[in-house]
């Protein structure tokens, strides 16, 4: 919350897919037996839609005048596990340092395609090695692995601490796999609490769909609903 702000509300809503979602394509590993075994039976994370039409891995944040970015005390972690980036989409506040690591017994590399931040390209030769990587500016950054071409992930750095990601966890707070999310009835629920009262622009980002935004007046207490559908999103022309 902003310093000195006495009144704050909660932004809630859903992010839903219009119509029938396309089938998720299967992933195929082409190198390293560990990866071939780990990836067998898995599917693309690029667009995951639940039975309830909810869309997973949508980063939602509120642009609030005067809000500052406060990095967390503990560095967020992006792992390479099962020859996949985990989590597939990691949302952070700009200025955070991410600990990029690997749990896999095979070599990976971490190839950032950043445009506003340092575009690192490092190898992680064995499990347990940690690369602290500071993401200074707000940006959605694609990561790949040059050794294993099917591996992609995203770090999305947002301008303040009012953000969340859809489909990360179930109602009990446990991490939710994409396979389990697909089977769920979740309508893409999200909540951003303690947003200062007043005008805010609510922004939604998704790797395949693009981005959408809506401007609202956040109440001094209570909730305001801001819902999105896939039809609201537009891909960047940059």
21 falls within a domain: no
17 falls within a domain: no
The reported pLDDT for the residue numbered 170 is: 79
The reported pLDDT for the residue numbered 174 is: 81
145 falls within a domain: yes
SS3 233: coil
The reported pLDDT for the residue numbered 19 is: 95
SS3 40: coil
Tally of domains within the chain: 1
Over the chain (238 residues), what is each successive 10-residue block's mean pLDDT? 68 97 96 97 97 98 93 96 97 98 97 98 95 97 97 98 93 86 96 96 98 97 97 86
CA distance linking residue 212 with residue 191, whole number of Å: 17
207 falls within a domain: no
* Cis amide leading into 163 (omega within 30): no
- Provide the domain limits for residue 79: 8-12+26-187
Among candidate residues 106, 100, 99, 103, the one with its CA nearest the CA of residue 128: 103
CA distance linking residue 173 with residue 120, whole number of Å: 33
Q: For the chain, where are the alpha helices, taking DSSP H only?
A: 33-39, 178-183
Q: Which two tokens stand for residue 27?
A: 């992933």
Neighbours of 30 (CB within 10 A): 10
198 falls within a domain: no
- Please, what's the largest Cα pairwise distance for the chain? 57
- CATH number where 96 lies: 2.60.40.420
128 falls within a domain: yes
By the 8 A CB rule, do 180 and 171 touch?
A: no
The reported pLDDT for the residue numbered 169 is: 83
85 falls within a domain: yes
Non-local CB neighbours of 182 within 8 Å, separated by 6+ positions: 24, 48, 49, 50, 51
Handedness of CA 59, 45, 145, 234 (dihedral sign): negative
Query: Tokens 């639940």 sit at which residue?
Result: 50
192 falls within a domain: no
The reported pLDDT for the residue numbered 6 is: 63
The reported pLDDT for the residue numbered 7 is: 81
């Amino acid at each position: 919350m902003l310093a000195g702000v006495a009144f704050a509300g909660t932004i809630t809503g859903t992010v839903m897919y219009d119509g029938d979602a396309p089938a998720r394509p299967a992933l195929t590993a082409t190198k390293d037996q560990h990866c071939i075994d780990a990836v067998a039976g898995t599917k693309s994370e690029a667009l995951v839609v639940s039975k309830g039409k909810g869309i997973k891995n949508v980063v939602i944040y509120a642009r609030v005048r005067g809000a500052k970015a406060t990095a967390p005390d503990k560095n967020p972690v992006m792992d390479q596990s099962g020859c996949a980036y985990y989590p597939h989409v990691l949302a952070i506040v700009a200025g955070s340092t991410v600990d990029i690591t690997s749990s896999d017994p095979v070599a990976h590399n971490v190839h950032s395609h950043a445009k506003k931040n340092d575009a690192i390209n490092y190898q992680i030769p064995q499990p347990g090695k940690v690369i602290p990587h500071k993401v200074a500016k707000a940006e959605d950054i694609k990561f790949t692995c040059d050794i294993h071409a099917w591996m992609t992930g995203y770090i999305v750095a947002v301008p303040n601490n009012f953000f969340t990601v859809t489909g990360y966890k179930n109602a009990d707070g446990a991490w939710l796999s994409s396979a389990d999310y697909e089977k769920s009835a979740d309508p893409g629920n999200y909540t951003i609490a303690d947003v200062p009262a007043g005008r805010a622009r609510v922004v939604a980002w998704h790797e395949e769909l693009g981005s959408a935004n809506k401007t609202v007046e956040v109440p001094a207490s209570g909730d305001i609903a801001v819902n999105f559908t896939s039809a609201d999103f537009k891909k960047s022309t940059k």
